[in-house]
Amino acid sequence: MLQVRNLHTYYGHIHAVKGVSLHVNPGEIVALIGGNGAGKSTILRAISGIVPAASGEIVLGGHDITHLGSERILKRGIGHVPEGRRLFRGLSVRDNLVLGAYSRRDRSAVKQDLAAMEELFPILGRRRRQLSGTLSGGEQQMLAIARTLMARPTVLLLDEPSMGLAPIVVSQIYEKIKELNRSEGLSILLVEQNARMALGLAQRGYVVETGRLVMEGTTSELKASNEIQRAYLGKGYREVWE
């Protein structure tokens, strides 16, 4: 479905991503875990065309999308839920959703999708006219996801959906992500610092450190690895909400 081969990106002189290769199969959830500043978000930004790829290839469904602009990549079916949600805070919930469908021309289908989103996230229907900046953190994350889904992506890039949210809210959001994957067959590339949550949801995972992939495998392999346990899961420590 989505393939990234030997991707390199730079921020000015900083070599942020150093030869990353990964893939996401149709209908699969893949986790990308690693510490702060490891380059996880940059990989997502390069895939969606927000940050240019210096070299390497990004292929979606057999087509090279490496050097298409972000608008074209979105139209090809890659939806990106940015880190920190980045809502249009001064606009209503409804306007945010409508803007998510900006790249689409099929008006009547957009209308149906609006209704579908309000069904999937009922709170968004109840808060339709409210300014999105006044929503709670969890509601904002739901809106950010729904807004990206309005573009009808086939691959969803999710950047830290758990960021700054209470554990119970994180579980709710992960439930919704699982549901989307199961019912719609949506392929998902998930970036998380919360390795335990991410590995609990995904089928496969990659570990990123300072711009390089240092490990990959199925989530059960990764969870079993000593290194991962020590560095990311906190050996012998179980989080309260599990």
Partner 1 sequence: MSVYILHVLIMVSIFAMLALSLNISVGFAGLVSLGHAAFFGIGAYASGLIMIKELGSFPAAFLSAGLITAILGLALALPALRVKDDYLAIVTLGFGIIVGIILMNLEVTGGPDGLVGIPPVTLWGKPLYSKAGFLILCALILGIMIGSMYTLKYSKIGRAWAAIRDNDVTASFMGIDIYGYKTMAIVVSAFWAGLAGSLYAHYTAYINPHTFGMHTSIMILSMVVLGGIGSIPGSLLGAALLTILPEVLRPLADYQDIFYGGLLVAMMVFRPQGIMGRVKITEIFGRSR
Binding site for partner 1 (CB under 8 A): 48, 50, 70-71, 74-75, 80, 82, 86-91, 95, 98-100, 102-103, 147-148, 151
For the CA atoms of 172, 173, 178, 179, what is the dihedral angle to 10 degrees? 80
HSE at residue 71, side-chain half, CA atoms within 13 A, is 3
Q: Closest separation between CB of residue 156 and partner 1, Å?
A: 13
**β-pair type (55-60, 78-81):** unpaired
- To partner 1, the closest distance from the beta carbon of 91 in angstroms equals 6
The least distance separating partner 1 from the CB of residue 160, rounded to whole angstroms, comes to 15
Comparing CB distances to partner 1, the nearer of 144 and 222 is 144
Cβ proximity to partner 1, 60 vs 197, nearer residue: 60
Residues 101, 10: Cα–Cα separation, whole Å: 30
Shortest Cβ 5–partner 1 spacing (Å): 24
**Strand, coil or helix: what is 59?**
strand
Nearer to partner 1, 100 or 161 (CB): 100
Q: With respect to partner 1, which residue has the nearer C-beta, 50 or 180?
A: 50
Q: 117 with 75: CB under 8 angstroms?
A: no
Half-sphere exposure of 102 (CA within 13 A, CB side): 11
